[in-house]
Structure 1
Amino acid sequence: MSTTRVFRMAAAAVACTAIAGGLLASPACAAPGQEVTYGSTRQDTLRGEAPRDLLIGTAVAGGGHHETMDYDNPFYASPEYRTVLAGEFSSVTPENQLKWEFVHPAQGEYNFGPTDDIVAFARANKQEVRGHTLLWHSQNPQWLEQGEFTADELRAILKDHIQTVVGRYRGQIYQWDVANEIFDGRGNLRTTENIWIRELGPGIIADAFRWAHEADPEAKLFFNDYGVEGINAKSTAYYSLAQDLLADGVPVHGFSAQAHWDMRWGLPGDMTANLQRFDDLGLETAITELDVRMTLPEDGRPTDEQLAQQATYYTETLQACLDVAGCKSFTLWGFNDQYSWVPVFFSGSGAATVMFEDFETKPAYDALVQQLEAATPGTSPRR
């Protein structure tokens, strides 16, 4: 693998995506004279080096904090962003575009346009799509959280939402985070924060999986959370719940760890063992939201030492996935620092992705490519 690269677009003669009526008329975006040319025969990329049974994904910027920033949505406004998105990744996840407040902003009204565009982009670039998320305590619209609904009405609202959203993308979104962050750090259900569990009881979790399965019987249905990368009270709560639901015939297919790391803290040494115990239950596993934040120096530029340490966090997380046969999806939560959620939510922290704002790659990017390159093509690189 070559040393650090910069993905640049030529200043002139950029043949890129046309946008008409909010839709991507031609999702792929290429440029004559582009320094890095992506194509079906290119290999030295994340997706090009990955084993055939491992999807390498990223979140697609949009919604949430992006709407308050001083840049235009890069998925529409940046040819460079789309080119790297298409070339580096075999899987994409709408970052906020499928969360309740964005996709279901008013009762009975859905906003599917941005996700439709992402799905069209993925189809054109031979990518899979992950769906995020269906049942969560956060980023819900005011009409839902502040509405005066009976339990029966809430149950009908959730069922309609799940079956409408999943049904719209039947056969197009292969994996869904059905229940997201339903336990606290002590392994207790979020009975206060989560409107669904609070008002409808824990049984609504199984119903959510059943409704999603009815809407798309081929989709893989997952639990998803942060702080569950190692064996602890929280991940064990998921393990016990998964056991119970599987015993009851509930269509649960996977367990995923987000892996939002902070370099002030070390990595758990039992990531592989934790993923493996879910694999032993017959569940697929995944890393779904990986980024590695750091406390930045005063000049805002990470030191070489910080970048080297960050690369280790990325590669150790990837290795935990590679070591477990059923870990088939490895997703970064964005790839460019300019669009990362981290500085918005963690003051003084940043530089969490594998590329700087100008798309210059970091040591973490090169380390991941080298790690994937070392694997035998077409097989999972297991130790």
Structure 2
Amino acid sequence: MKLTLLVAALPAASTALPTWPWTKPHSKPLKYPGLDVLAKRAGLLYFGTAIDNVVLDNKQYISIARNRSEFGQVTPANGQKWMYIEPTQGVFNYTLGDQITVPATRAGQLKRCHNFVWHNQLPEWLTSANWTKPALVKVLENHIKHEARHYYNDCYAWDVVNEAFDDDAAASLRKDIWLDTIGAEYIELAFKFARKYTRPGTKLYYNDYAIESVNNKSSKVAAMVKDFKKRGVPIDGVGLQAHYTVGRAPSYDAQMAAHKLFSRLGVETALTELDVRLQLPDNSTAQALQAQVYADSTKACLDADDCVGVTVWDFWDPVSWVPDTFPGYGNADIWDANFTKKPAYYAISDLLRSYD
């Protein structure tokens, strides 16, 4: 997903903190250990955040984003996507990706790298050409080779292929340059190229949205994973993006079923882009419901056998991608515009402490 800066002022949110069932409401900030510290104590590998380049000049934002006690893992939200990495064929520019990964390395944060292959945010030289299958396969391998080698020592995991399945009722493969030119084989080729050029031990993920419950789409992804495992195509994990809406998010039980769907195939899972949008203007009731969704999602990861971590798709409301994509919705993150921790933050924190 793409993050962009909000231009319009955010509507004022209620300052009343609601009561949720697992703890008393917080009337003032409490000095708890950060979310990553608590997540590790609870048995996860990390609690992390996406970071976009558009906000790197905000010192208060960076002080939180680079606080390893809060976020032990970082995902470049946009800087490693094809249009920025290879804007001209054969010419590679790692500036935007490095702006996220280099400080994360200095801070001792893991990196989930994102992504090698997607239907979106592709450069014009790639989308406007009339490719043959062999030529496009070479382009695909060359891109993965160069990007993987540049970030060879940096990435705990790579989202190798992102959002390959469509939103239609059949959850068919998405028609795009890759499917139209190479065919369905492009997905396994991408994973094979990724294994060839990434550091041994790097986790290779398929990443998608609307697979956080058992449905046609998640079943199609599971069938692909099962086929890959049977034929020796390298795949280590499935990323559940977890972009949710208050009032329409899958339940804890539904999310647990999705984790089990994939873990029984021998791959790990992770929540890779968690946010919970709500209809604006928000209020204390909406914030309480939002907090419950964040807690339920984190709890499902904690209780699943092979879920390794949770990544929020940024943590600060003003840089959320939601308002531009879903007009009338927003405030999807766990810090508000004033850098105040929201009920959702405390819901996650309290839940993680309960596992300590």
Partners of 1:108 and 1:168 in 2: how far apart?
Answer: 14
2:274 paired with 1:290:
yes
Partners of 1:361 and 1:97 in 2: how far apart?
Answer: 27
Contact kept? 2:76, 2:101, Cα under 8 Å: no
Partners of 2:95 and 2:206 in 1: how far apart?
Answer: 26
The equivalent position to 1:89 in structure 2, one of 52, 63, 71, is 71
The equivalent position to 1:122 in structure 2, one of 82, 90, 104, is 104
Secondary structure, counterpart of 1:270 in structure 2: helix
2:228 paired with 1:245:
yes
Show the 5 A alignment for 1:16-55.
Answer: 44-52=33-41, 53-55=44-46
Show the 5 A alignment for 1:70-109.
Answer: 73-75=54-56, 77-87=57-67, 88-109=70-91
Task: Summarize the Cα distance change of 1:266–1:285 in structure 2 as closer, same or farther, 3 Å threshold.
Answer: closer
Q: 1:365 corresponds to which residue?
A: 345
AA matched with 2:162: N
AA matched with 2:55: P
Partners of 1:45 and 1:259 in 2: how far apart?
Answer: 22
Contact kept? 2:214, 2:261, Cα under 8 Å: no
Q: 2:50 corresponds to which residue?
A: 59
Secondary structure, counterpart of 1:218 in structure 2: coil
Partners of 1:270 and 1:244 in 2: how far apart?
Answer: 24
Shift of 1:187: 4.5
AA matched with 2:51: V
Shift of 1:5: 6.6
AA matched with 2:297: T
2:188 paired with 1:232:
no
The equivalent position to 1:144 in structure 2, one of 126, 142, 149, is 126
Partners of 1:318 and 1:257 in 2: how far apart?
Answer: 12
2:315 paired with 1:335:
yes
Secondary structure, counterpart of 1:173 in structure 2: coil
Q: Work out which structure has the larger RCO, using CA pairs closer than 8 Å and 6 or more positions apart in sequence.
A: 2
Secondary structure, counterpart of 1:139 in structure 2: coil
Shift of 1:125: 1.1
- Structure 2 segments unaligned to the other structure (5+ residues): 1-22
Contact kept? 1:257, 1:287, Cα under 8 Å: yes
Shift of 1:277: 2.3
Shift of 1:191: 4.6
AA matched with 2:93: N
Shift of 1:244: 0.5
Shift of 1:344: 1.0
Contact kept? 1:171, 1:218, Cα under 8 Å: no
2:183 paired with 1:201:
yes
Task: Summarize the Cα distance change of 1:355–1:311 in structure 2 as closer, same or farther, 3 Å threshold.
Answer: same
Partners of 1:312 and 1:196 in 2: how far apart?
Answer: 39
Shift of 1:338: 0.6
Shift of 1:43: 5.6
TM-score normalised by structure 2 residue count: 0.87
Partners of 1:374 and 1:337 in 2: how far apart?
Answer: 27
Q: 1:280 corresponds to which residue?
A: 264
Q: 1:348 corresponds to which residue?
A: 328
Aligned residues: 326
Shift of 1:54: 2.6
AA matched with 1:304: S
Q: 1:210 corresponds to which residue?
A: 192
CA-to-aligned-CA distance 1:144-196 (integer Å, 9 cap, x gap): 1111222211111110111111111112111011111111233444352x211
Partners of 1:326 and 1:229 in 2: how far apart?
Answer: 14
Q: Root-mean-square deviation (CA), in Å?
A: 1.8
CA-to-aligned-CA distance 1:233-263 (integer Å, 9 cap, x gap): 0000010010111111011000111010111
Question: 302-311 or 107-116: which moved more?
Answer: 107-116
AA matched with 1:308: A
Q: 2:4 corresponds to which residue?
A: none
Identity of aligned residues (%): 35
Contact kept? 1:284, 1:326, Cα under 8 Å: yes
Shift of 1:352: 0.4
Partners of 2:142 and 2:172 in 1: how far apart?
Answer: 24
Contact kept? 2:191, 2:235, Cα under 8 Å: yes
CA-to-aligned-CA distance 1:321-350 (integer Å, 9 cap, x gap): 011121012100010011110011111110
Partners of 1:357 and 1:80 in 2: how far apart?
Answer: 11
- Structure 1 segments unaligned to the other structure (5+ residues): 7-35, 37-41, 63-72, 377-383
Contact kept? 2:84, 2:96, Cα under 8 Å: no
Contact kept? 2:166, 2:174, Cα under 8 Å: no
Partners of 1:173 and 1:45 in 2: how far apart?
Answer: 23
CA-to-aligned-CA distance 1:182-215 (integer Å, 9 cap, x gap): 11233444352x2112110111211110110111
